[in-house]
Each structure stands twice: as C-alpha cells, then as structure tokens.
Amino acid sequence: MTMLFSTLAQAEPNGSMMILPALLFFAIGIAFVVFWIWTLVDCIKNEPSEGNDKIVWVLVIALAGWIGALIYLLARRPTRKRELGR
C-alpha cells in the first residue's frame, strides 16, 4: 500500500495532497467493516435461538451491511441485554 501512495505522489505534482484523504477514507472503510463483523458475531453468539428472530437479524445484518448492523445495534441489542442480561 505504501508503494501505491508513493507512486500516486510521484505521478502528480499535488499527489501528496491526496494521500491524507485516501488514508482517511481507507481507515473509515476498515472501521465500517470491523463494526459490521463485530455486530454479526454478536448477533450469532448472543441472540436467543427461539423462533426466527436470530435468522432474521443475521439476514438483516448480512444483507444490509453496516446500515443493518446499526439498526441491530440501536433496535435489538439494548432490548436483548435488558431481557437476557447478555
């Protein structure tokens, strides 16, 4: 990756100005992926297996990406923690 940014900086006179925004977008993207995976694992491990709730939440998180993970985190996780204590 360092080679990519150094090549970008050499190719364009103002290329060094583009490195910081590129790194910022890369870091934000990695943070979204880590958040999505963490939420998916949390749902799989801690959601009760009664009925279809677990399957529905896993599908919402998996198919809607980080938006589905955010919905799960805000809507279901606090309720589950209150009900089950985990």
Residue pLDDT, tens place only, 22-38: 899 999 999 999 999 99
Residue range(s) defining the domain that contains residue 78: 2-84
Task: Quote the tokens at residue 78.
Answer: 């606090």
Helices 53-75, 77-84: crossing angle, 10 deg rounding: 110
Tokens of 30: 């990695």
The verdict on pTM exceeding 0.75 is: no
In the chain, the number of structural domains is 1
Residue 4 has pLDDT above 90, yes or no: no
- Provide the token pair at 66: 């980080």
**The two three-digit tokens of residue 67, written as one number:** 């938006």
